[in-house]
Amino acid sequence: MFKSLRGRLITVALVVLTAGWQLYAHKSETGQWLKLGLDLQGGMHLVLEVDDPDGTMTAEAKSDMIDRVDRIIRTRIDEFGVEEPLIQKVGGERLIVELAGIDDEEQAKGIVQRNAFLEFKKVLPTSDMDGALRRVDRAIVASLGVDSITALGRAVVQEETSNLENLLFGTDTASVDSAAAAADSAAAAVADSIEAEENALRPFSSLLLVGDIEGTYLVAAADRPIAEMFLAMSEVERAFPRDQIMLWGSELVGQAAQTYYRLYVLEEDSFLTGEELEDATAMRDPQFNQSQVQFEFSRAGGRQFARFSGANIGNYLAIVLDNEVMSAPVIRDRIGARGQIEMGQGTPLEEARDLALVLRAGALPARINIVEERTVGPSLGQDSIDQGRIAGMVGIGLVVVVMIAYYGMAGFLAVGALGVYVLLVLGGLAGLNATLTVPGIAGLILSIGMAVDANVLIFERIREELDHGRATRTAVDEGFQHALSAIVDANITTLITALILFQFGTGPVQGFAVTLSIGIVASFFSALFVTRSFFLAYLSGKKASDPISI
């Protein structure tokens, strides 16, 4: 097929159509001809560092931690759908993450930083906590003192009493209604003060109401900050039983025009963690229109889950994510390797997808801080595209002018082959879904120069053969044959260099290597096959003795 002119032209046409189809398919799927890198389409540049507030981690421990963070973040970014991210370890303590084409920057940062440690704990009855609450109250009173707890209530009483005295004994004549209102206000303040003094002796338990489900207390939303302050006290932590903890629920609960948070009483040790998780999928419950995450355990995790659920039918199971109870369903039957996390009413499906993504990727081994954040705007990328386009057009234009002016008709045929070459490179980038970066544009222009250089070698060899008196057809065949070894040597050595750059380089270097490699293959094909096919088509209408312009 390749020996006949017709077969050659059919092959060239098929290759051109394939490259054009790859570009068209990529355009139809993504809306752009080629996938652009961070430097061309904009995106985020993050520098991450392991959090070590106490400075107790050794260099080896930090390096190992960064390696683990690297693997997990790579998985998360792949799940997130970012094309061609750059994730590079710097030294032993930092990680560079570059995400091209990010629309929601806060979501991306949340995905990168989120710990997402999943645990499954048993919900205990609140009666198990009664004795501990009394110890907690005594610990708070001993630490803060009753006076500081009741100071606010006393200040209110003094203010209301002062207002009543001014009305009754002041120099101005007070109305009966005003005096009566002031008396009622002062009486209410006194009652509140008495209640505040009583509550001051049980500062924590006075914030708790009986929960709406087994094993929970309700805390008014306005009281949560002070309740959290109490729970964070070291004296309070020591007052709890060693095998019990209290964790907040993730949802607000509305009752009687008030909003509350649930506070769960749980076993401290979890019977199962997310390490046994194999898959997690976000979906929406069609019955209640509620976002949820369905998860699946490994075989070993499924057996553990089945044993626990079988022994605790009728009890509540807390699904805890990052020390916050996401849901606490009642165990109605023995459960195997599958379960689900209810995200709550009004939670968007996108949030459920993010949670499923993080659960699949795994939990970070340590807290990660973003020590540097830089956003590359799309306008800067557009400037790079425009400048690259201008440079490419000027370079190709000069090549076309020089080739035609110096080699005549042969130069014109080489320019036609060069057009095929450019289409092959772009189609190859689209077909491989490779990312075009600014260094990649440099690689493209460099490979154009190599394609022209191959044609120059061929044409000079043809000129030498013509100078020796060879016939036109023979001179063309000899020229291509004798130039072959030099072209192969140049292209193979450059291709090996490009492969080494791709293997050991990162980010922009890899982009340069990919574009250069595709360009080398395309230039080899266009120079030796396409140009020769065009020559044969040109010579087919001439006699063997007719001269050619070269």
**Number of neighbouring beta carbons within 10 Å of residue 548:** 18
Please tell us whether the domain made up of 5-37+378-539 is placed in CATH 1.20.1640.10: yes
Per-residue pLDDT at 376 = 67
pTM tops 0.85:
no
Instruction: Spell out the CATH class of 271-361.
Output: alpha beta
DSSP label at residue 227: H
Angle, vertex CA 25, rays to CA 19 and CA 26, nearest 5: 90
The chain-wide mean pLDDT, for the chain, equals 79
pLDDT value at 266 more than 90: yes
- Judged against a pLDDT cut of 50, whether residue 135 lies above it is answered with yes
pLDDT of residue 246: 93
- For 42-63, what is each residue's pLDDT tens digit? 778 888 888 877 777 788 888 8
pLDDT of residue 385 exceeding 60, the answer is yes
> In terms of pLDDT, which residue wins out, 414 or 101?
414
The lowest-confidence range among 220-224, 246-250, 322-326 is 322-326
Place 263 in a pLDDT band, splitting at 50, 70 and 90: very high
Where are the CATH 1.20.1640.10 domain residues in the chain? 5-37+378-539
User: Is the pLDDT at 435 greater than 90, yes or no?
Assistant: no
* Burial grade of 83 (CB within 10 A; 0-12, 13-18, 19 or more): middle
Domain ranges in the chain with CATH number 3.30.1360.200 = 271-361
**Confidence band of 264 (pLDDT split at 50, 70, 90):** very high
Closest CA to 276 of 325, 343, 339: 339
The residues that bridge with 313 in the sheet, in sequence order, are: none
- CA neighbor of 355 nearest in space, from 376, 365, 377, 340: 340
145-201 pLDDT tens trace: 766 555 544 444 444 445 544 544 454 444 545 545 554 554 444 444 444 555 567
For 471-502, write each residue's pLDDT tens digit: 888 888 888 888 888 888 888 998 899 889 88
Instruction: Compute the average pLDDT of residues 201-222.
Output: 88
What does the pLDDT read at residue 169?
45
Sheet holding 43-50, edge to edge: 86-90, 94-100, 43-50, 368-376
User: What are the residue ranges of CATH 3.30.70.3220 in the chain?
Assistant: 45-105+368-372
- Per-residue pLDDT band for 434 (boundaries 50, 70, 90) equals confident
- The CATH-assigned architecture of domain 45-105+368-372 is 2-Layer Sandwich (3.30)
